[in-house]
Copies of this chain bind each other. A is one copy, B any other.
Amino acid sequence: MAAQRRIDLVLDSVKRLLRIGATANLLNLLQKQHPADLAQIFSDLGDKEREAAFSLLADRNGRLAMEAVSELGPEAGAALLGTRTAEEIAKLAQEIPSDDAAALIDYLPEELSGAVLDLMRPKESSVVENLLEYAERTAGRIMNPHVFALSEDITVGEAITELQTNRDVEMVFYLYVVDERRHLVGVTSLRRLLLVAPETPLKRIMTADLISARADMDQEEVARQVASYNLLAIPVVDEENKLVGVITVDDVIDVIKDEATEDIYRLAGVAGDERAFTPAGESLRKRLPWLGINLITAFLASSVVALFENTIDRITALAIFMPVVAGMGGNAATQTLTVVVRGIALGELTWGNSRKALMKEALVGLCNGVILGLLAAAVAGFTRGSLTLGLVLCAAMIINMFVAATAGTLIPLGLRAADIDPALASSVFITTLTDIIGFFSFLGLATIFARFLIP
């Protein structure tokens, strides 16, 4: 937490210096910060303060300002950048790697992004435009197209010289080797270059068996490859296996975080791109449709209750325990659903081993139902002085928790098999099911045994 305290101190100073207008001191302080810390400071400032601090820094140290903007993420970054003119944005965008520039420009309002691209140097803007042609969430969209590659025909000594002369390429972890038509043919490392004689042909020490990503590969799959093979970077190739870019592990970490956020959100019925500070109007627009669907499903559940209006009319106590049956089913379903959806996302649960998972969840659901059903029966039977009411409650809970467990497993697995994101089988859908099954079994059984229940 020491880092956080340091940032909080800097934040206080920034606010104070802004207030008293001590621009020289402020600039000095901002320039000493790491881009990631600056991003944190920017996001903690008020809108006016943020724009003032950014504009001050952008005029003096465009690269640092833009690195901080990149760290803010494309949405918040573009919002901050959008406060400047197209000319200024075009100039600033050229300070950072093209993939970061592309991500920001993509989030600018359309007329502004067009103007910015027109104002950039033709070479830079064409690189950005190329990147934007790849579909969203693919390897091509997040790769850095400036990838350093060595020719397979040179020697180790020549390779070292090339590295020494290309001082401005981004940090190199792996050295990719290409043939004369830029087909990716191998990989080696700086360290391995140092372990052999300079006249050794590069071909002899490279590894030909390497993992690469196609430019149209889904970014989630790219992240899975980098994570499971413990890579620091993955080369990106086109359909002819020509090297077109590289994705480094720091971008993969962002993908992993975003995908985890999306899973968490989808389970709760929130749009994947909503953030804590998405404007209220936009949040409302994003959440309302989902709640609207819920309203329909809620009325569906309430129509099940309506079927048994006569029974409730005669035995009011049923209304008191209805929420217990439905609620416990919903909670048990959420537990199962969460474990299953996460298991699928982490690649642990596949169609192949789904039978095993189903058997397990069904067993757990049944046991939970019996234990909690008996407990609930004891409480209800005792407080209302009716053994039959207790037994009806118990039976309904067993049925509902068993259904919750099996549906909580089968629905996400089925969606996955149909190539739909299983997280969309959100707790909300499954809760509708447990509401309906819960009300139906509880009120249905109560109707059947009504003559034993009427006080």
A309 CB to nearest chain B CB (Å): 6
A447 contacts chain B at the CB level, 8 A cutoff = no
A320 CB to nearest chain B CB (Å): 5
Q: Is the CB of B342 within 8 A of A324?
A: no
For A334, what are the chain B residues with a Cβ–Cβ distance below 8 Å? 268-269, 427-428
For A275, what are the chain B residues with a Cβ–Cβ distance below 8 Å? 339, 343, 348
For A309, what are the chain B residues with a Cβ–Cβ distance below 8 Å? 316-317, 319-320
For A435, what are the chain B residues with a Cβ–Cβ distance below 8 Å? 323, 327
- Are A277 and B356 also in contact (CB < 8 A) when A172-B191, A253-B227, A294-B328 are? yes
Q: Is the CB of A312 within 8 A of B319?
A: yes
A69 CB to nearest chain B CB (Å): 15
Q: CB-defined interface of A422-433 with B at 8 Å, one 1/0 digit per residue?
A: 000001100100
Q: Is the CB of A284 within 8 A of B368?
A: yes
A40 CB to nearest chain B CB (Å): 7
Q: How far is the CA of A173 from the CA of B172 in the complex (A)?
A: 10
A452 contacts chain B at the CB level, 8 A cutoff = no
Q: How far is the CA of A275 from the CA of B232 in the complex (A)?
A: 27
Q: Is the CB of A268 within 8 A of B427?
A: yes
A74 CB to nearest chain B CB (Å): 14
A184 contacts chain B at the CB level, 8 A cutoff = no
Q: Which of A115-123, A136-144, A159-167 lines the interface with chain B?
A: A159-167
Among the listed B40, B295, B313, which residue makes an inter-chain contact with A375, where contact means beta carbons less than 8 Å apart?
A: B295
Q: How far is the CA of A103 from the CA of B319 in the complex (A)?
A: 52
A407 contacts chain B at the CB level, 8 A cutoff = no
Q: Is the CB of B40 within 8 A of A347?
A: yes
Report the count of interface residues on A (CB-CB < 8 A).
117
Q: CB-defined interface of A179-199 with B at 8 Å, one 1/0 digit per residue?
A: 000000000011100110000
Q: Is the CB of B327 within 8 A of A294?
A: yes
A321 CB to nearest chain B CB (Å): 6
- Are A253 and B256 also in contact (CB < 8 A) when A268-B267, A295-B324, A321-B302 are? yes
- Are A268 and B338 also in contact (CB < 8 A) when A227-B250, A292-B372, A295-B375 are? yes
Q: Is the CB of A379 within 8 A of B299?
A: yes
Q: Give the number of times this chain occurs in the complex, counting copies.
A: 2
For A331, what are the chain B residues with a Cβ–Cβ distance below 8 Å? 269, 290-291, 294, 428
Nearest CB to that of A337 among chain B residues? B268
A64 contacts chain B at the CB level, 8 A cutoff = no
Q: Is the CB of B229 within 8 A of A277?
A: no
A51 contacts chain B at the CB level, 8 A cutoff = no
- Are A295 and B372 also in contact (CB < 8 A) when A267-B268, A302-B324 are? yes
A17 CB to nearest chain B CB (Å): 17
Q: CB-defined interface of A98-117 with B at 8 Å, one 1/0 digit per residue?
A: 00000000000000000000
Q: Is the CB of B298 within 8 A of A328?
A: yes
For A226, what are the chain B residues with a Cβ–Cβ distance below 8 Å? 253
Q: How far is the CA of A282 from the CA of B301 in the complex (A)?
A: 33
Among the listed B254, B324, B335, which residue makes an inter-chain contact with A287, where contact means beta carbons less than 8 Å apart?
A: B335
Nearest CB to that of A314 among chain B residues? B316
Q: How far is the CA of A342 from the CA of B367 in the complex (A)?
A: 32
Q: Is the CB of B34 within 8 A of A284?
A: no
Q: Which of A35-54 contact B (CB under 8 A)?
A: 36, 40, 43-44
For A36, what are the chain B residues with a Cβ–Cβ distance below 8 Å? 228-230
A59 contacts chain B at the CB level, 8 A cutoff = no
A249 contacts chain B at the CB level, 8 A cutoff = yes
For A291, what are the chain B residues with a Cβ–Cβ distance below 8 Å? 328, 331-332, 335, 368, 372
- Are A431 and B191 also in contact (CB < 8 A) when A288-B371, A320-B302 are? no
4 shortest A-B CB distances, which residue pairs? A276-B343, A260-B260, A268-B338, A230-B250
Query: 14 A-B pairs, CB-CB below 8 angstroms?
Result: A227-B253, A232-B232, A232-B249, A256-B260, A260-B260, A261-B346, A263-B264, A264-B338, A265-B338, A269-B331, A274-B339, A287-B335, A298-B327, A301-B324
